[in-house]
């Protein structure tokens, strides 16, 4: 029974996004120069995993509003989901130029740098994201993972402890991960 409820809720959510896309498309037909409509539809397309369409709409936004950090962020997320890391990196970088306080751009860029084993760049982005928002678990998790991968277990433990001290209780998955890693890493020291 639980699966049916979950599936029904997911289906309702999907049709809500489809409805939103249809409404935004009609609004764009009436106001084809309104970049906020393209931005909203681009985010909706992203949420429907329609990344090419999201990129098209978000590109239209940044062509008009070259300093729209959020449009660069969402387009970067779309490129990343399509495996186009270089384009994603470019957009995350443009997002932080437009808004140096946009921690999501920093930790998403850090994740790509970490994947490429460009650890200094990744750690720098994690630090900047944490400065901007010490309550966001993603930056701590990326940073701690880099330390673990480089056998810097004490630094990883310190980072996980910072996560525990700063993140909200609602972020139970990150808290669970941090506690487990502290336990495992502590036994290796």
For the segment 60-115, what is each residue's pLDDT rounded down to a tens digit? 999 999 999 999 999 999 999 999 999 999 999 999 999 999 999 999 999 999 99
Q: What mean pLDDT do residues 12-37 have?
A: 89
Task: Read off the pLDDT band of 14 (50, 70, 90).
Answer: low
Task: Read off the pLDDT band of 187 (50, 70, 90).
Answer: confident
Least confident of 7-11, 160-164, 167-171: 7-11
Read off the tokens for 57.
């709409």
Give the whole-number percent of the chain exceeding pLDDT 90: 88
Q: So what's the pLDDT on residue 4?
A: 37
Q: Which residue has the tokens 């932080």?
A: 96
Three-state SS at 150: coil
Domains contained in the chain, CATH given: 1-99 (1.25.40.10), 118-189 (1.25.40)
**Start-to-end C-alpha separation, the chain:** 46
Distance CA 154, CA 122 (A): 18
Distance CA 19, CA 16 (A): 5
166 pLDDT more than 70: yes
Q: So what's the pLDDT on residue 31?
A: 96
6 pLDDT more than 90: no
Q: So what's the pLDDT on residue 151?
A: 95
């Amino acid at each position: 029974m639980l699966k049916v409820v979950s599936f029904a809720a997911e289906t309702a959510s999907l049709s809500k996004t489809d409805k939103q896309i249809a409404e935004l498309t009609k609004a764009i037909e009436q106001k084809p120069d309104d970049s906020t409509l393209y931005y909203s539809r681009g985010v909706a397309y992203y949420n429907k995993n329609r990344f090419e369409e999201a990129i098209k709409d978000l590109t239209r936004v940044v062509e008009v509003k070259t300093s729209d950090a959020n449009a660069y962020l969402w387009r970067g997320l779309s490129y990343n989901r399509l495996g186009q890391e270089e384009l994603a990196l470019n957009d995350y970088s443009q997002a932080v130029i437009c808004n140096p306080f946009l921690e999501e751009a920093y930790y998403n860029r850090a994740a790509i740098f970490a994947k490429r084993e460009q650890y200094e760049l990744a750690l720098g982005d994690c630090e900047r994201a944490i400065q901007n928002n010490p309550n966001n678990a993603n930056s701590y998790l990326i940073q701690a993972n880099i330390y673990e991968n480089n056998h810097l277990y004490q630094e990883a433990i310190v980072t996980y402890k910072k996560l525990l001290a700063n993140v909200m209780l609602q972020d139970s998955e990150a808290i669970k991960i941090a506690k487990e890693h502290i336990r495992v890493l502590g036994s290796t020291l």
